[in-house]
Structure 1
Amino acid sequence: MPDRGPGRGAARNARRRGTRGLHAPWLSGPGAAGDEDLAPACRGVRLPRELWRPAARRVVVSGDAPVAVITGASRGIGKQFAVDFAAAGYDVVCLARSTDDSPTKLPGTVDETAQLVRDAGRRALALPLNVQVEEEVAAIADRVYDELGRCDVLINNAAIAIPGKTLELPTSRWRLAMDVNVHGPLYMMYHFCPRMVQAGSGRVINISSGAAVRPEFGRISYTVTKRALEALTEGMGFELQEQSVAVNCIRLDFAVWSEGYAYTLPGVDTSEFEDPVVMSDAALWLARQPLDYTGKVLAITQMREMGAVRGNTRIADREGWGDGETAGAREVKR
């Protein structure tokens, strides 16, 4: 039989799924939008019918402040991302399960983080999200584009590390790790990336851990899921490389302080830990690289050698950190 292309079932499934692709200008300064914002670049991507709208109805306007969407933004590294991207001129969407109306036992909520963004003079949305639930992710993507009109940088930071030996845990705990650490980032890319392809540019930054290559870490589900996230990064980087969407991953390969550490391990000396600002250095550096810089998994120690992040962010040495001007200030070392 002749090839008639995708049938009704394929079209129906495409409409259910939503679009794929990322959107973000290569920033040369706070809020600066490049010409790539205007590129159509949608070849090879099937957009759902609800996104086939006249250009006049789109909210995106060249020159608007770029938007960063961050999961796990209620505390720790995610909170630091929000604060530092706001300082760099981004409006920020703060996503996490912890809200003022529904706090968890750990300190911090997305509402508190969003207020810090507003204090920096940027727009902020604070929205509850369980990344395990695809329907919630899809609704978040709709709301971000309805209210802010764009997503330039998507940071998949939310994660869970389940303690215990694998064979002594119920399999439901394994599935939980897979749902949060792998399926969650996939759902975020699945529902944000196509719109970004439509916009003509974008960046995804996934957050991994040194545990991905260290099974002795002792939480095998975390090791497996972080290694899977790195493979997902490389695969999506390959799939989207012709669509003006960059997908990269930062591997945090040493201990970084967070409110979670302070709460769950109150007796641990964290003076040798590093401040989460080093992760913001890395993410902002990636946000400034050309869109063909994609499919990379970069450890923080490697990025230090590249000059992409500050050389020292140990909490004990806070006074001697430097101003962080290395982030994004040097050419990409391929």
Structure 2
Amino acid sequence: MSKQGGVLEGRVAIVAGGSRGIGRGCVLELAANGAKVYVLGRTLNEGEGALPGSLSKTVQEAAELGGTAIPVVCDLRSDDQIGAVFARVMKENGRIDILVNSAFDLPEGCGNAEPFYSTPISYWDDMTGISARSVYVTTWHAAQAMLPRHQGLIVNISSQGSREYFVHATYGIAKSALDRIGQDTGNELAREGIAVVTLWPSFVLTERILAFDADEWGVDLEGAETPRFPGRAVVALATDPKVVARSGRIYSTRQIAEAYGFTDLDGGLPKGAPDPQTHYPLMGS
């Protein structure tokens, strides 16, 4: 049972990449607000992945908040596995209201300041395979489920790395593709009453960020977001009856917070990413 009396009671959500990081934060906020959340990822139990976090832990934390989350082991590189998940969710519920695409695969060794020509070509498949292709596939399946009811929300978690260099050339390529998927599918689906919104968080205190040396990466964590702040942005969008007007647009999570009036866990607002509507830095910046 989903949490009774929550603003999202009766809604069914899928979060791709919910075992840790921003995806986990989205699961917790959606579940805490009453949605029934299917959590997709590859790491079922703690200790099975390279980083802390697992489907089981996320589901347990959702239950502690009074919510319902269902773990689903799924390799997002597999079209067949993705299709099977959506078929299962539709069979069990007859509807899908919310899809959050938060998965991203940053290969081991990426971030060591090595240029693309010194790293394996497989980095391309690792990053674009999850950030672009799998998002296109999940969005396609979500559209099939949402079109008969002419309503639904799809949120893609991207970053300002789509417009400026960060970590590796393929990172920016993958995030740029993700932004464009949101813009173009959002344009087409808005005609059918379905919203596709892309979010840029600023630096987020994820398991990965906390595991690295922020100074070595050149990352300033002052004013960083908790993983649940983007989750609160998703909830705000999901409860807006006019959200389709935002379809195809890109927003920072802070912009969404200012528009809807929510804060991070500490009661304040993080520094926030740049305004996606105006952020086009010069090459190399």
Q: For the superposition of Structure 1 and Structure 2, which TM-score range results when normalised by the shorter chain?
A: 0.7 to 0.9
Question: Per the alignment, do residues 99 and 264 of structure 1 end up closer, same or farther by CA in structure 2, a change over 3 Å counting?
Answer: farther
Counterpart Cα distance in 2 of 1:95 and 1:102: 17
Give the TM-score, by structure 2 length: 0.81
Say whether the 8 Å CA contact 1:201–1:291 is kept in structure 2. no
Question: Match of 1:240, SS?
Answer: helix
1:186 CA drift (Å): 0.7
Q: Does 1:242 align with 2:187?
A: no
Q: Does 1:85 align with 2:30?
A: yes
Question: Per the alignment, do residues 101 and 271 of structure 1 end up closer, same or farther by CA in structure 2, a change over 3 Å counting?
Answer: closer
Alignment of 1:31-180 (within 5 A): 31=8, 65-100=10-45, 103-162=48-107, 163=110, 164-180=114-130
Counterpart Cα distance in 2 of 1:177 and 1:119: 33
Which residue is 1:56 aligned to? Answer: none
Say whether the 8 Å CA contact 2:46–2:57 is kept in structure 1. no
Equivalent residue letter for 1:302: Q
Say whether the 8 Å CA contact 2:27–2:69 is kept in structure 1. no
Deviations 1:253-309 (A, max 9, x none): x21101222234488885643212221221112212325321111123433553554
Question: Match of 2:81, SS?
Answer: helix
Question: Match of 1:292, SS?
Answer: helix
Which residue is 2:161 aligned to? Answer: 211
Counterpart Cα distance in 2 of 1:257 and 1:81: 14
Alignment of 1:177-192 (within 5 A): 177-192=127-142
1:141 CA drift (Å): 0.7
Give the TM-score, by structure 1 length: 0.70
Aligned mate of 1:275, from 226, 234, 252:
226
Aligned mate of 1:261, from 209, 219, 235:
209
Q: Does 1:284 align with 2:235?
A: yes
1:192 CA drift (Å): 2.0
Which residue is 1:223 aligned to? Answer: 172
Which residue is 1:57 aligned to? Answer: none
Counterpart Cα distance in 1 of 2:8 and 2:260: 23
Counterpart Cα distance in 1 of 2:206 and 2:262: 19
1:170 CA drift (Å): 2.0
| Rg larger for | 1
Which residue is 1:298 aligned to? Answer: 251
- Percent identity between the aligned chains? 25
1:78 CA drift (Å): 1.1
Say whether the 8 Å CA contact 2:33–2:67 is kept in structure 1. no
Say whether the 8 Å CA contact 2:131–2:178 is kept in structure 1. yes
Counterpart Cα distance in 2 of 1:30 and 1:305: 19
Question: Match of 2:235, SS?
Answer: helix
Question: Per the alignment, do residues 31 and 284 of structure 1 end up closer, same or farther by CA in structure 2, a change over 3 Å counting?
Answer: closer
1:185 CA drift (Å): 0.6
1:221 CA drift (Å): 0.8
Name structure 2 gaps, 5 residues minimum: 270-285
User: Once superposed, what is the RMSD of the aligned Cα atoms?
Assistant: 2.5
Counterpart Cα distance in 2 of 1:135 and 1:76: 25
Deviations 1:26-71 (A, max 9, x none): xx96235xxxxxxxxxxxxxxxxxxxxxxxxxxxxxxxx1011101
Counterpart Cα distance in 2 of 1:244 and 1:210: 27
Question: Match of 2:158, SS?
Answer: strand
Say whether the 8 Å CA contact 1:92–1:117 is kept in structure 2. no
